[in-house]
Amino acid sequence: MANYLDNDIKFLKGVGDRRAQLLWKELHVSTMRDLLYYFPFRYIDRSRIYRIAEITDDSHAYIQIRARVERIAQQGAGRAKRLTALVSDGTGVAELVWFKSINWISKQLEPGREYIIFGKPGFFNNELSIVHPELEAVGGARPPAPGVQGVYSTTETLSSNQLGSKGIYNLIRALWEVAPQHIEETLPQDFIRKYNLMPLADALRNIHFPETAEKLEQARYRLKFEELFAIQLGIVSRRGQREAGYDGFVFGKVGERFNEFYSGHLPFELTGAQKRVVKEIRADTITGRQMNRLLQGDVGSGKTLVALLSMLLAVDNGYQCCMMAPTEILARQHYATIQKLLGGMEVSVGILTGSSGARERRQALEAAADGSLDILIGTHALIEDNVRFANLGFVVIDEQHRFGVEQRSRLWTKNHNPPHVLVMTATPIPRTLAMTLYGDLDVSVIDELPPGRQPIKTFHVKDAHRLRTYGFMKEQIAAGRQVYVVYPLISESEKMDYKDLQDGFESISRQFPPPDYFTTVVHGKLKPAEKEANMRQFSSGMAHIMVATSVIEVGVDVPNATVMVIESAERFGLSQLHQLRGRVGRGAGQSYCILMSGDKLSREARARLEAMVRTNDGFELSELDLQLRGAGDLAGTQQSGLAFELKIASLSRDAAIVEVAREAALKVTDNWDRLDHRQRELMEALRQKGSIEKTADFSMIS
């Protein structure tokens, strides 16, 4: 029953072993089907020919000109070798440049001849230049290009093997000559009718070779729908299986410790949102179903307290709890905070992290196993096999985006029935994204900050005006406040980043010399004990300034710190900037965030920084972040870093389709028994496609 489309791509006319290897290595295309599903990432109107004089900036992604070759020259030698051609169309001149395939290109180019030239425009010395353009001699043997043509993303290596966008287009044309009769419809007929979808074969043809703009739109809709539907089907049925498979622990009573804490230890009145979420959790934990709840709440919205109250509910009902944090620092901070909040109550709290000493570790493990420990706080160390609980009933995971689905599920196996799980994230996630990433979770939102918080004021300062920033820091320190200065740490260039941090620390120490000022430093290379000591210098108020890498991104809670200076802010993602900003504004004092950046910024970086200055709303920022990344990524995998890769749909732009697909998936699962044999077969195949669940580091969100 093998389908022709499952054949190795090397058998396609014009491919062969070598290019097949390249296609695999560069694009993960290995079969005919893979190529068929390699979609254009944009379309251009090949019937439109620009005049050179018309193109005055580099805002066009692609242009097409018709011009005559005036002069050809080769310059440089070795790796610096390049070929340039000066072309003119009567309205202006442009320079074409090649760094690769020079011999091959120079054979194609004839001085005096007219070409259709296609590529991305750039400017060099105020002159239009196109690097590695596509060329077609006017009056050549090839038929003229059709109106709308797909542009395929490709790589430098592929381009220099004649597999630029056009090379790929040509392969797909060759494939299309044999493919159509082998395309099998993947959706049931009644489904296609009901949701008004284009049949698969038509959709695949139009996605590559659009007949009209309208048909292209229908093709895109059909393919996006199918992709999102498969994912939703996977999610919905996973959830169904889970609910059918286990009983949830019942926390029948609100007991002593909850009440004691609520009436005697609560340091402040809960916000309305905090109260609502505690109620939602309570309602979940008396149903007999296992709870899986995502708690979204912006930085500083008071999630820790909600977690503690929920854990006390569990403890009152005779269950143990654990709370997992993504970093050592955060785990220790939670431990300290919770002990302080409990202040002598009869609740036993332990800690376990990767760097726990032998004694701390033994104590935690023993007390968890014999049931004497009520709450165990820690890092990833908690999911190790040697961590056993007598009766684990409730799990809190803080900062979800650092943990994958698989890690989450490993915590489930620590009791005969899976514990209730509360996942907390400070990174707001757009609704449609949450529906997809966490579709098997219920969602609670804390949409209210504790009273008295003043919105943080954010400024963008270019490096040239650095002294202003220092001046401002001095004023704030003189007023008794503390300051964070954060440097980016991006693993590829770690060495350089640490150097930046080191240089930064030294120049801060020069600007803020002891004994008037005290500056401390925290980064990932410090030993845990040293790190902790330095953190304490800051949290105790002894140090005025903390220089740090983004390790302080999560967790640090120093209400007296009112200034967050972020160095090279253009290198951070929006959500991360927002997280960092959330480290200040925790007390009643007016707080400030200063985004330092270089003088020259890319359009996207500028958009990010402007958004930060404009709004404090984490939800708005996360929507924007998705859009910017979606637009900024030419590879077509807008969600790279996601557990699954979307080929065509976008979680940010196709929110409406996500919702329809979700509805459709729910309907199908509800009526599963009424499907006929064929329908069931198709749905099963889609479900499997959609269930490919990997451990995801949801780093896209951070």
Positions in the binding site for ligand ADP (CB under 6 A): 268, 270-271, 274, 297, 299-305, 426, 450, 557, 559, 586
Q: State how far the Cα of 246 lies from the Cα of 417, in Å rounded to an integer.
A: 6
Q: Which is nearer to ligand ADP, 442 or 557 (CB)?
A: 557
Least Å distance between CB 150 and ligand ADP? Answer: 45
Q: Which is nearer to ligand ADP, 128 or 307 (CB)?
A: 307
Q: State how far the Cα of 267 lies from the Cα of 284, in Å rounded to an integer.
A: 26
Q: How many Cβ atoms from other residues are within 10 Å of residue 517's Cβ?
A: 17
Q: State how far the Cα of 540 lies from the Cα of 688, in Å rounded to an integer.
A: 54
Q: Which is nearer to ligand ADP, 300 or 636 (CB)?
A: 300
Least Å distance between CB 643 and ligand ADP? Answer: 24
Query: How far is the CA of 321 from the CAs of 156, 318, 361, 372, 422, in angstroms?
Result: 52, 10, 17, 12, 11
Q: Which is nearer to ligand ADP, 138 or 266 (CB)?
A: 266
Classify the C-alpha dihedral 650-656-662-668 as positive or negative. negative
Least Å distance between CB 123 and ligand ADP? Answer: 46
Q: State how far the Cα of 384 lies from the Cα of 288, in Å rounded to an integer.
A: 27
Least Å distance between CB 432 and ligand ADP? Answer: 23
Least Å distance between CB 285 and ligand ADP? Answer: 21
Q: Which is nearer to ligand ADP, 30 or 615 (CB)?
A: 615
Q: State how far the Cα of 256 lies from the Cα of 97, in Å rounded to an integer.
A: 77
Least Å distance between CB 557 and ligand ADP? Answer: 5
Bridge partners for 323 per DSSP: 377, 396
Least Å distance between CB 582 and ligand ADP? Answer: 6
Q: What angle do CA 293, 295, 300 make, to 5 degrees?
A: 160
Which residues touch 584 (CB under 8 Å, ≥6 apart)? 456, 484, 561, 562, 563, 564, 591, 592, 593
Q: Which is nearer to ligand ADP, 302 or 690 (CB)?
A: 302
Least Å distance between CB 522 and ligand ADP? Answer: 18
Q: Which is nearer to ligand ADP, 44 or 308 (CB)?
A: 308
Q: Which is nearer to ligand ADP, 260 or 557 (CB)?
A: 557
Q: State how far the Cα of 699 lies from the Cα of 646, in Å rounded to an integer.
A: 16
Q: Which is nearer to ligand ADP, 199 or 559 (CB)?
A: 559
Cβ-closest position to ligand ADP: 302
Which residue has tokens 């402040």? 268
CB 369 within 8 A of CB 389: yes
CB 375 within 8 A of CB 670: no
DSSP per-residue codes, 15-62: THHHHHHHHHHHH---BHHHHHT---SEEEETT--B-GGG--STT-S-
Least Å distance between CB 373 and ligand ADP? Answer: 22
Q: State how far the Cα of 130 lies from the Cα of 7, in Å rounded to an integer.
A: 37
Q: State how far the Cα of 579 lies from the Cα of 702, in Å rounded to an integer.
A: 8
Q: Is 198 exposed, middle or buried (0-12, 13-18, 19+ CB in 10 A)?
A: buried
Classify the C-alpha dihedral 246-351-336-298 as positive or negative. negative
Q: Which is nearer to ligand ADP, 296 or 476 (CB)?
A: 296
Least Å distance between CB 321 and ligand ADP? Answer: 16
Q: Which is nearer to ligand ADP, 133 or 300 (CB)?
A: 300
- H or E element: which one contains 221? helix 213-245
Which residue has tokens 């431990």? 335
Least Å distance between CB 591 and ligand ADP? Answer: 13
Q: Which is nearer to ligand ADP, 133 or 585 (CB)?
A: 585
Q: State how far the Cα of 55 lies from the Cα of 75, in Å rounded to an integer.
A: 26
Least Å distance between CB 84 and ligand ADP? Answer: 56
Q: State how far the Cα of 522 lies from the Cα of 538, in Å rounded to an integer.
A: 10
